[in-house]
Amino acid sequence: MTSGGAGGDGVRFATDEGILRVSLDRPEAKNSLTPEAIRRIIEVLEDAALDDSLRVVLLDSTGEDFCAGADVVSANAGRDTPKPRPGSLQRRTGLQAHRLVELLMSIQLPVVCAVRGWAAGLGFQLALAADFAVVSDTATFWEPFVSRGFTPDSGATWLLPRLVGIARAKELLMLGEHISGDEAADWGLVHTAVPDAEVDTVAGILARRLASGPTVALGLTKACIHSSLELSLTEAMAKEVLALELSCRTQDFREGMAAFGERREPDYGGR
């Protein structure tokens, strides 16, 4: 990697050839995310959204598991401290886990996620929010909320019905069923499932492929796909026209047209 960063929050960052790599790095706790780690990732993604040198986000992890969700133990530590006032959970979640999922969905950079081992709760939602999740065929996806006596968060009730339908969403959220990486791929929850040893390689190839693409057009296409879920056909096509107007003003558009005319592969610069 050409540059990188690490800290005590259980997450590492590095950049290389336009790829921002966000690595969950707390394997002793199955990479469960503390509030500090979530805030740090949010901060880095917000900066990345404004960094014209970046073209892809690659989200992965160290150790055997991707992410066991939010660190409930850490969040509830310090029993001797005064009890938070009513509304604390509602206020904090919106600025932490929910903000992270929103950023992954809305950032105008492709997001690739590499998953092995457990992806539970928030960890499951991170994979769902990515544009392309490359998962181990033996990975385990689980929504533990109701099984533990509380209701889902981090976009689970929005993401799952849209990806697999209401019946399967209820199976995951209300019955707490586990599914494997192979099953997640069969259901259309993730991009692809591969043998465990191939996850990093396949995710890296995909990230580099996207990093060599027309970044503005990719970002606008992603935005159109997500916004169309809430729009009428007419409204969605209006968004498409605006995106088309913007993408046709890029250097990559001119390069793409020139390459087509010259019968060669385009060399996109991401601008």
pLDDT band at 147 (very low <50, low <70, confident <90, very high): confident
Q: Is the pLDDT of residue 1 over 50?
A: no
Q: What is the mean pLDDT of the chain?
A: 90
Q: Is the pLDDT of residue 2 over 60?
A: no
Q: Classify residue 55: in a domain, yes or no.
A: yes
**Same domain (yes/no): 234, 150:** no
Q: How far apart are CA 63 and CA 25, in angstroms?
A: 8
Q: Classify residue 270: in a domain, yes or no.
A: no
**Same domain (yes/no): 194, 220:** no
The whole-number average pLDDT for the span 228-257 is 94
Percent of the chain with pLDDT over 70: 88
Q: Classify residue 268: in a domain, yes or no.
A: no
Contacts of 243 (CB under 8 A, 6+ apart): 220, 221, 223, 224
Q: Is the pLDDT of residue 5 over 80?
A: no
pLDDT in tens, 45-96: 999 999 999 999 999 999 999 999 987 655 555 556 666 665 555 556 655 7
pLDDT value for 150: 87
CB count, 10 Å around CB of 267?
11
Q: Classify residue 15: in a domain, yes or no.
A: yes
Q: Is the pLDDT of residue 237 over 50?
A: yes
Domain with 232 in it: 215-262
pLDDT value for 29: 93
CATH, residue 245: 1.10.12
Q: Which amino acid is at 116?
A: R
**Same domain (yes/no): 146, 245:** no
**Same domain (yes/no): 94, 227:** no
Q: Which single residue is written with the structure tokens 């890029």?
A: 250
CATH, residue 105: 3.90.226.10
pLDDT value for 197: 96
**Same domain (yes/no): 220, 125:** no
The whole-number average pLDDT for the span 126-134 is 97
Higher pLDDT, 8 or 63: 63
Q: How far apart are CA 149 and CA 133, in angstroms?
A: 29
Q: How far apart are CA 48 and CA 238, in angstroms?
A: 27
pLDDT band at 160 (very low <50, low <70, confident <90, very high): very high
Q: Classify residue 267: in a domain, yes or no.
A: no
What are the structure tokens assigned to 153, written together?
């968060």
Q: Classify residue 49: in a domain, yes or no.
A: yes
Of 170, 194, 211, the last residue of a domain is 211
Strands (E) in the chain, as ranges, are 3-6, 11-16, 19-24, 56-61, 111-115, 118-120, 132-136, 140-142, 179-180, 192-194
Q: Is the pLDDT of residue 267 over 70?
A: yes
Q: Classify residue 271: in a domain, yes or no.
A: no
Q: Please count the structural domains in the chain.
A: 2
What are the structure tokens assigned to 96, written together?
């932490």
The whole-number average pLDDT for the span 160-175 is 96
pLDDT in tens, 177-224: 999 999 999 999 999 999 999 999 999 999 999 999 999 999 999 999
Q: How far apart are CA 106 and CA 44, in angstroms?
A: 14
Percent of the chain with pLDDT over 90: 82
φ, ψ for residue 5, nearest 5 deg: -155, 145
**Same domain (yes/no): 135, 203:** yes
Closest CA to 94 of 165, 18, 154, 28: 154
**Same domain (yes/no): 162, 229:** no
Q: Is the pLDDT of residue 166 over 60?
A: yes
pLDDT value for 61: 96
**Same domain (yes/no): 182, 201:** yes
**Same domain (yes/no): 142, 255:** no
**Same domain (yes/no): 148, 228:** no
